[in-house]
Amino acid sequence: MSELINPDIASVISDCKPYNSIQPLSDKGNLKEMVEQFEYAAIQTALETCHFSKTQTAKQLGISINTLWRKMRNDSGVTN
Question: Could you tell me the pTM of the whole model?
Answer: 0.59
Cα–Cα distance, 34 to 36 (Å, whole number):
5
23-76 pLDDT, tens per residue?
A: 655 555 788 888 888 899 999 999 999 999 999 999 999 999 999 999 988 754
Cα–Cα distance, 59 to 48 (Å, whole number):
14
Q: Please name the residue ranges forming H helices in the chain.
A: 7-15, 31-49, 54-61, 65-70
Q: Is the pLDDT of residue 3 over 70?
A: no
Return the CATH fold of 2-75. Answer: Arc Repressor Mutant, subunit A (1.10.10)
Q: Band of the pLDDT at 1, cuts 50, 70, 90?
A: very low
